[in-house]
Amino acid sequence: MVTQKGMKESEYKACIDNLGLLEGEEVKLEYVCFRQMILPSAVAKSGSKSEMWKGLLVFTNYHMIFMQQEGRWSSNYAQALRIPLEQIGGAVSGGTMIKHIRVQVGVSGASDLHEFINFKSTYGIQQIHEVRADIERVLKEEREERTRLAKEAVAAGKPPAMIFCKYCGTRNKADESKCMNCGAKLT
């Protein structure tokens, strides 16, 4: 697995130590990259403005996490994003000059896009479309695993502790009637 190319060893260790993994959560992918945020003109005050934040993009079996540098010259990193995989609609890659990955969170119409650029840990190792393929593979594997576990619980006559929305795939508590992500009826 590609780890700290593009990041000092102490920075990488700080990121990994502060991931806050849950019981049973395992790191599947990690990339040193930049998160690009485009601020709307209302926030930027003089037209739209783009900001970039260095960090470690991590995919686990439960979440997408971005450990973001706390200041331009800081060696401190904190969680800027922690998104359950079931809320991720997909990933696209592109760019001619600056290669990027855009991750869609939520269902269309009510979704957010998170853009990551300059994958330093992969330069010379992977093309951007290969990074996207790795992300898509992890998303697919984890969705298949959740489906398998739910089917096993139903076959054993046990109600699953969680219900997955058939429209967006979000994990919901078994006693919920509507999806917490898209609002669809769960029964």
Strand duo 112-117 + 100-105: pairing = antiparallel
Please compute the mean of the pLDDT values over residues 167-186 and round it to a whole number. Answer: 78
User: Topology of domain 9-127, per CATH?
Assistant: PH-domain like (2.30.29)
Domain ranges across the chain: 9-127
Residue 1 has pLDDT above 50, yes or no: no
User: Residue 115 is inside which H or E element, if any?
Assistant: strand 112-117
Each residue's pLDDT tens digit, 84-136: 898 898 899 998 888 899 999 876 666 788 999 988 777 777 889 999 999 99
pTM of the model: 0.78
| Residue 7 CA from chain centroid, whole number | 20
pLDDT value of position 27: 95
Name the residue with tokens 């010259």. Answer: 73
Strand duo 63-69 + 112-117: pairing = unpaired
Higher pLDDT, 48 or 137: 137
